[in-house]
């Protein structure tokens, strides 16, 4: 190939360099074009648009009251006249509290004494002075222990196991509480047990108690509450 006449003017000598520079510029422009962002202009309002409307204050109406003038001051007379009161004033008679020596003194036998029954509160069996006397314990030295023994004998004598709890195998203790009245009778019976049939049997046993001599506190007959468990046990 024949060399060119002017080699320093060869246009293809630096074509590769120019291509690379152009490529870099095109890529840079493309990148900035993609990354370019635009924003809307904000709207700024003046403060006058946000000011609230001024409230119109309504003045209360003026009310005028017609106040009458004050009454004139009383005229004090210079001379005071005293009026006479003809109405009689009743006198208060004060009786003397001293004894009259001329008054007849009644004898003690002439005064009727009415005894008011005193309703004494119930006294527990453990603290009462004179315990109720169970029939058969009148001559016992320790009437309290005799009462307990006679109660146990009465329960063993009249004890009868109910049929329904016996067939169902129900057993347990029935706690009984009753009050020995001022006339020696039994009242206010209360029971608590595991079965109603056992409770009914325990009530029946207590209702069969005989009439006793009432308990006394300071010589006065009082009500005496008494508690005892009745054990229903199957062998």
More confident residue, 146 or 11: 146
More confident residue, 73 or 27: 27
Q: List % helix, strand, coil for the chain (3-state, nearest 5).
A: 25, 15, 60
What token pair was written down for 137? 């314990």
Is residue 44 pLDDT above 80, yes or no? no
| pLDDT tens digits, one per residue of 144-191 | 899 999 999 999 999 888 888 888 888 889 998 999 998 889 989 999
CB count within 10 Å of CB 232 equals 22
In the Cβ-directed half-sphere of 98, how many Cα atoms lie within 13 Å?
4
| pLDDT tens digits, one per residue of 56-111 | 555 566 556 566 787 887 776 666 666 666 666 566 656 666 666 666 665 655 55
How confident is the model at residue 97, as a pLDDT?
61
Could you tell me the pLDDT band of residue 54, with boundaries at 50, 70 and 90? low
Q: What is the DSSP letter of 159?
A: -
Helix 196-207, helix 143-158: angle, nearest 10: 120
Q: What is the DSSP letter of 208?
A: T
Is residue 3 pLDDT above 80, yes or no? no
Q: Which fold is adopted by the domain 143-232?
A: 3.30.1150
Is residue 55 pLDDT above 60, yes or no? no
More confident residue, 225 or 79: 225
| pLDDT tens digits, one per residue of 196-219 | 999 999 999 999 999 988 988 888
């Amino acid at each position: 190939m024949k060399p060119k006449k002017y080699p320093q003017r060869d246009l293809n000598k630096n074509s590769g360099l120019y291509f690379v520079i152009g490529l870099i510029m095109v890529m840079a422009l493309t990148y900035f074009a993609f990354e370019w962002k635009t924003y809307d202009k904000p709207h700024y309002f003046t403060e006058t648009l946000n000011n609230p409307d001024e409230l119109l204050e309504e003045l209360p109406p003026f009310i005028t009251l017609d106040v009458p003038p004050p009454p004139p001051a009383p005229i004090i007379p210079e001379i005071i006249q005293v009026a006479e009161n003809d109405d009689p004033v009743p006198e208060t008679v004060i009786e003397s509290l001293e004894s009259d020596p001329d008054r007849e003194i009644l004898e003690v036998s002439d005064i009727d004494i009415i005894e008011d029954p005193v309703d004494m509160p119930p006294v527990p069996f453990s603290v009462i002075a004179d315990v109720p006397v169970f029939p058969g314990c009148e001559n016992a030295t320790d009437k309290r222990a005799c009462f307990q023994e006679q109660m146990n004998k009465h329960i063993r004598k009249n004890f009868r196991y109910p049929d329904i709890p016996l067939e169902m195998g129900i057993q347990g203790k029935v706690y009984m509480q009753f009050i020995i009245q001022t006339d020696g009778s039994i009242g206010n019976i209360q029971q608590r047990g595991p079965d109603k049939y056992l409770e009914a049997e325990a009530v029946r046993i207590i209702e069969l108690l005989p009439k006793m001599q009432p308990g006394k506190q300071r010589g006065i007959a009082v009500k005496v509450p008494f508690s005892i468990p009745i054990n229903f046990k199957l062998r």
